[in-house]
Chains A and B, each alone.
Chain A
């Protein structure tokens, strides 16, 4: 417990800026993972417990692609495309076999795959921590705002996250594909009866969710150390985000992710031992007060 540090920080603009920025980058990475999770749940009614593994694989794909080409763009592309394709294959071959409410089987299939992915990563990339290093393009002097230091890469991450959030929101509400996806989440049988290939749609949504998680992994690679099992902690956090924001809501995922990011950074200052506990506490409060989450409709 160290509430004094928290108060001192609130009194200093430099500290506030630094903390809020790092809260936002945690929030943006969480958002990219959580929004895929919430999208997949909204349409397929399946909670993808392997979603953290996609994040992990994205980070490792980026690591390898960056090592081979030296280009950060190529690294991000490898992360996104690799996990996106994996998502499509995973949905078509495995997850599609356990649709229809049997939660036990869904959990088991995902549990099996988490074990396999974690071990494959250990076999291919080794058990030790890896780090990708900051790309040269971002080796810039940090921005100074009100005395607080903001590294250029952090700014890039935040912009990326916000752009993707805006794009997703627009895409789902305005485009034909977005409308089809929303329709399928309400009544898949009717959508299918109207001549739309729902199987293909499901694979696309799952692949896209995997792509976002992989992209998050790729974006996280320069600022996080890579290890097998890194996916599970972000999975739990993105669950908390979706519970807080409400399953199926993109705005909820964004707000929930940023809230969790801020709780994490300020919690580390004030309650270093209980940072994780604060997130769960917050989740429990939301669950008791509004079981469907802050922006959730009654689908729970």
Chain B
């Protein structure tokens, strides 16, 4: 039940019909993370997908790129109320990475260098909705923005787009990741304002 606050009219210079509820458009790209920024060389970087049998499937930096890099333009939405629209990204579709992974499990835990985790339903990672991103706005992804590679799942709040991603583990239940254990919503759909539990 909202009510008007006396004297508030808003600036609205950044109003945009593409913004989900409670979001404000920004031009810069803010940085948020829970600890120091890990610095990972691409020569050492590796992506591991663990299937339900516990088998690891691995891609080096070059092997990842050999799967085919695509350009995508998407809007990103941070739970701290900012959105950045029409961002140009480059990355490898999760469809290509998960193509030959057989799993009955319906959930995935993303793991990062530095120890961060976040949970996602598998269905949010396939169907052209998610990427392992390595470039943004024409530049290699910088460490403070999750470089060398981060998950990019733009239809969910951006804490789901794990920075410094190193692995995806299939799991049978939707176990909470890092922020999800600290009170953030288990799914995080901006259109439904699924910010907090």
A and B together in one complex? no
Give me the interface of B with A, judged by CB distance under 8 Å. none
